[in-house]
Amino acid sequence: MALEDMLEWMRTEKGQVGIFDATNVTTDRRDSILKRLKGHCKVLFVESVCTDPETLRQNILLKAHKSSDYEGVPEEEAVADFARRIAAYEARYNTLGEEDKRNQTAYVKLINTATDCGSFEANRVRGFLPTRVGYFLMNAHTVPRKVYLCRHGRSVYNTENRIGGDSGLTSEGRQFSMALANWVRALPEDERPAVVWTSTLRRTVSTAQYLGNYPQVQFKLLDEIDAGRCDGMTYNEIAEKMPEEFKARQADKLHYQYPGGESYMDVIQRLEPVITELERQRVPILIVAHQAILRALTAYLKGQPLREVPHLPMPLHTLLALTPHSYGCHEERQPLLPAARSSGPGAA
């Protein structure tokens, strides 16, 4: 029924990518899926093999604690039930392998990727999208780790309500940069970021200046949304001099593209390599960037709809700690200056 629902969605709503979430542990089962989908779409099977005892133990406990299947069920009972389910699948399990290669089945196989000894196998992965999916899966893992996000300290343009630009920090912004460094140093050792990412703009680089003990990498891809011909203007100036642009932005902030600049959708697309690199990280990381950038990254990590991206709260001088896991994403917000004022316009 789920497979038929997916096909109907592709036919009637022009859906391009469907993820058919099912166990498919037997060769016959996979063959029946291939036959049903033939002529409708390309098929790429993804198999995850885990034999590491500690990873299995953690995954089972996570399932018992977080899955809606076991809501209200005592841990011991949930663990025992899930272990029985695993055993039932294992008794019928046919791994992807030589027969699938002979049948020219496209698949990727992840083997113990939660460990340092993990490996990856690919067969007949061809075409733009399957190749991108394979590349993403090569970098993805299930190891929980903290991702710290914060905007730069208050800049000169923030105080003037101007968007874009490459202005430096105000005295309050420099105060935040020192508070950020002190906060990081006070973290437990296993929660401190192993690396700091910033954009190439002065206000983020300056915000990270006191984090000298941590490796820092500047990414052009983390630069703020390009405001094009509106760069350096206030929103009041845009409303007065470019009223049609101002109205268009208010009507659809997600798809609105600054004249000669970018839209939120453009930003989301350019962040794809950053997201892949972020998925690859197995240690805590701190990203100091800009409002639009952090909105997009937060929405990705929390699985929020695209339409919500331009409206996510991202105040200045506040640190956001996200811990993604298999059943969601834990969020903590920590203001680092006692009387943080409004967020300022940025270019977002």
Q: Is 21 a catalytic residue?
A: yes
Report the candidate in 270, 247, 245 with the shortest Cα–Cα distance to residue 257: 245
Phi and psi, residue 174, nearest 5°: -65, -35
List all residues 6 or more positions away from 1 whose beta carbon is below 8 Å from its beta carbon.
none
Report the candidate in 330, 260, 325, 320 with the shortest Cα–Cα distance to residue 293: 320
Instruction: With beta carbons less than 8 A apart as the criterion, state whether 211 and 178 touch.
Output: no
The SS3 assignment for 147 reads strand
Identify any residues that bridge with 334 across adjacent strands, giving them in sequence order: 319
Q: At what angle do helices 27-37 and 2-12 cross, to 10 degrees?
A: 20
User: Strands 119-123, 107-111: parallel, antiparallel or unpaired by DSSP?
Assistant: antiparallel
Active-site entry in 50, 141, 160, 329: 50
Q: Is 317 a catalytic residue?
A: no
Q: Is 141 a catalytic residue?
A: no
Active-site entry in 100, 150, 152, 290: 152
Instruction: With beta carbons less than 8 A apart as the criterion, state whether 235 and 345 touch.
Output: yes
Q: Is 41 a catalytic residue?
A: no
Active-site entry in 4, 13, 21, 116: 21
The SS3 assignment for 259 reads coil
The alpha helices in 200-290, defined as continuous H runs, are 202-207, 235-241, 243-251, 264-270, 272-280
Active-site entry in 100, 172, 223, 224: 224
Phi and psi, residue 112, nearest 5°: 50, 45
Q: At what angle do helices 75-92 and 53-66 cross, to 10 degrees?
A: 120
Active site residues: 21, 50, 152, 224
